[in-house]
Structure 1
Amino acid sequence: MLMTTIGRGLRHLAAAACNLGMGLALGLIPTLAHAHVITMGGGGFGSGFEHPLTGPDHFLAMFAVGVWGAQMGGRAVWSLPVTFPLIMVLGGVMGILAIPLPGIETGIALSILALGLAIALAWRPKEWIALFLIAIFAICHGYAHGAELPRAADPADYAIGFVLATGMIHLIGIGVGLALSKPLNGRLARALGLIIAGGGVYFLIV
């Protein structure tokens, strides 16, 4: 019943979410700068909320999690988007504690590529496999933000803003995924996956 209610609510917003999500995804891919660095003494709720929206690599990954969950259907519609921020907290703690974890930026780029390809191929693995992959990607993204969190003027407000923005991006991805799951037998969703994967390739080579 919960899944039915969520699905119905998201479908009412699907058209608007599709336009917004597609526009943001396509517009952010060419952005040259990774918006990762918080200026010393800066950063509160507004900065935290803005950060995932202006960091194209993070945006694409979080957006793709929502799209992939919607494409997989069933429990994955909510289990993937819920798991990502929860595990991201673990990565954030590792970043705050400065625990050595090499290759974070590469891991972030690979997460975009892998999620994009999963959507493009309409890959529907067992849920635990998808969650395992999501968890690995979430650690990379969480670590990147955790490493910069101590430099924020108000770390608690920054973290709250970031989490809320992350949830919003997941919801946009779910809405877009649901909207594109039916037309042309899901080919539109798969085409979007290729665009996301292209973003991953871009971040790997820049």
Structure 2
Amino acid sequence: MRIALSHRHTAALFFIAASAISTGASAHTGAEPHMHNSFLSGFAHPLFGMDHLVAMVAVGLWSALAARRAGPELLWGPVGFAALLLAGAVLGLQGVALPAVEPMIAASLLTTGLLVVSRLRVPGTVAALGVGVFAVFHGVAHGVELAGSDSAWQTLAGMLAATVLLHGVGLAAGWALRERSVWMARLAGAGVAAFGGALLLQQVA
């Protein structure tokens, strides 16, 4: 059982690292308005949007790698990201537009990837606010798309549920690799950072 678990996490991390190859994607691919109309469509969006999927898994991965021990310390980053993602979405629904949303989403991938590589350990509140700042931009992007939709809150609920799920995947993978395969975690982080860097270059070019 232990070997099978390790293989699943290893495959997931290879998938994250391979995302660095996807330099043709935009930082926020977005979807047509008619797709944002239900809990299920909201749930599916982060799972099929490479930028969101990678960012959310990477937050969990970093949180597990940087934690001193199991416990509440693991949750500061994921909770901060999810909470401020929702806050950003609410701002977007209210018509609040932030500058440089696309570059900031790309920068979030670059930064989170470097955090995974370095396994930087910071106080819990700093971790929550650090990743949360970037989460606001992810949320605003979604909120603006959903503004005026009658099912906006259903869709946001689905996105939030998928976000929690992806954080959990990252936490599980990071915890499994804390000691036994440190180089795999660093490879995944480098892939995330490269992916984010490529997207950021596209945005500022």
Same fold, judged at TM 0.5 (above):
yes
Partner of 1:48: 42
User: Which residue identity does 2:92 align to in structure 1?
Assistant: G
Q: 2:154 aligns with which of 157, 175, 179?
A: 157
Runs of 4+ in 1 over 6 A off after TM superposition: none
Q: 1:180-199 CA distances to partner (integer Å, 9 max, x unpaired)? A: 21124x22212211111011
Q: 154-163 or 53-62: which moved more?
A: 154-163
How many percent of aligned residue pairs carry the same amino acid? 31
Q: How does 1:39-188 map to 2 (within 5 A)?
A: 39-40=33-34, 43-73=37-67, 74=69, 75-150=72-147, 152=149, 154-184=151-181, 186-188=182-184
CA distance in 2 between partners of 1:152 and 1:50 (Å): 17
Q: CA deviation at 1:179?
A: 1.6
Single out whichever of 18-27 and 54-63 deviates more from structure 2: 18-27
Residue 185 (structure 2) aligned to one of 189, 193, 201: 189
* 1:16 paired residue number: 8
Closer/same/farther in 2, CA of residues 154 and 56 from structure 1, 3 Å limit: same
State the one-letter code of the partner of 1:38. Answer: E
**Structure 2: gaps spanning 5 or more residues:** none
CA contact (8 A) 1:52 1:162 kept: yes
SS in 2 for 1:100: coil
The 8 Å contact of residues 92 and 147 in structure 2, kept in 1 or not, is answered as no
Report if aligned partners of 1:39, 1:151 keep a CA contact under 8 Å in 2: no
Task: Look up the equivalent residue of 2:32 and give its one-letter code.
Answer: I
**What TM-score, normalized to structure 2?**
0.84
| Cα deviation digits, residues 151-202 of structure 1 (max 9, x gap) | 5562232122111111111111111111221124x22212211111011112
Aligned residues: 195
Aligned to 2:25: 32
